[in-house]
């Protein structure tokens, strides 16, 4: 069953780009989360998306959010990708596509590649917005920022 807006995210642990286990539940209650699933390191659209999140990382930090990118690429691939593009956030390796399956991330339009989906999650671990648009990397960054800004504004009311 797909993770939908209003759902609590499932807990999972994957290795980060440094080969260390990263348990998502350690951030629940502490930070808002932007979890984005992407097909492949070093491809043009995926690189543009990662660099977009990198370029806005201070804005996300200001909104109390941690950015986490997930693909089926290896730890070593993620390590190179993060270094090549100075990515200041966590990349998680999901080689068996367990977490992609857990979230029921849809495949791309042709059904051949893992999808490009971004989940915005509040501090309580509840999905507040999902953005799914395979070929528009920059829109994922904008949608995530707008969603977190709205969440912050709603909390102040």
pLDDT in tens, 25-68: 999 999 999 999 999 999 998 999 999 999 999 999 999 999 99
Q: Which of 119, 117, 122 is nearest to 151 (CA)?
A: 122
- Which comes out higher in pLDDT, residue 109 or 5? 5
Instruction: With beta carbons less than 8 A apart as the criterion, state whether 141 and 147 touch.
Output: no
Within a domain: 2: no
Q: Which domain holds residue 40?
A: 13-156
**What confidence category does residue 135 fall into, taking pLDDT thresholds of 50, 70 and 90?**
low
Q: Of 33, 46, 50, 70, which is the active-site residue?
A: 46
Q: Which of 13, 80, 20 is nearest to 47 (CA)?
A: 80
Contact residues for 136 (Cβ-Cβ < 8 A; gap 6+): none
User: How many folded domains does the chain comprise?
Assistant: 1
The pair of three-digit structure tokens given for residue 12, joined into one six-digit string: 């999972």
Determine the Cα–Cα distance for residues 34 and 101; give it in Å rounded to an integer: 18
Within a domain: 94: yes
pLDDT over threshold 60, residue 119: yes
Within a domain: 7: no
Give catalytic status of residue 46 as yes or no.
yes
Within a domain: 4: no
Give the mean pLDDT of 97-107. Answer: 88
- Helix then strand count (H, E) for the chain reads 5, 7
Within a domain: 113: yes
The pair of three-digit structure tokens given for residue 129, joined into one six-digit string: 């917005």
Within a domain: 6: no
Within a domain: 74: yes
> What CATH number should be reported for the domain holding residue 117?
3.40.30.10
């Amino acid at each position: 069953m797909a993770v939908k807006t209003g759902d609590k995210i499932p807990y999972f642990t994957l290795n980060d780009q440094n080969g260390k286990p990263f348990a998502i539940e350690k951030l629940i209650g502490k930070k808002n989360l932007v979890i984005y699933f992407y097909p492949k390191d070093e491809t043009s659209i995926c690189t543009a998306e990662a660099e977009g999140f990198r370029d806005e990382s201070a804005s996300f930090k200001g909104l109390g959010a941690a950015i986490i990118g997930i693909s089926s690429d290896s730890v070593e691939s993620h390590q190179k990708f993060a270094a090549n593009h100075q990515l200041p956030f966590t990349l998680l390796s999901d080689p068996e596509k367990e977490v992609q399956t857990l979230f029921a991330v849809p495949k791309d339009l042709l059904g051949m590649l893992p999808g490009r989906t971004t989940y915005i999650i509040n501090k309580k671990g509840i999905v507040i917005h999902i953005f799914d648009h395979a070929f528009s990397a920059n829109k994922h960054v904008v949608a995530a920022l707008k969603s977190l800004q709205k969440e912050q504004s709603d909390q102040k009311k």
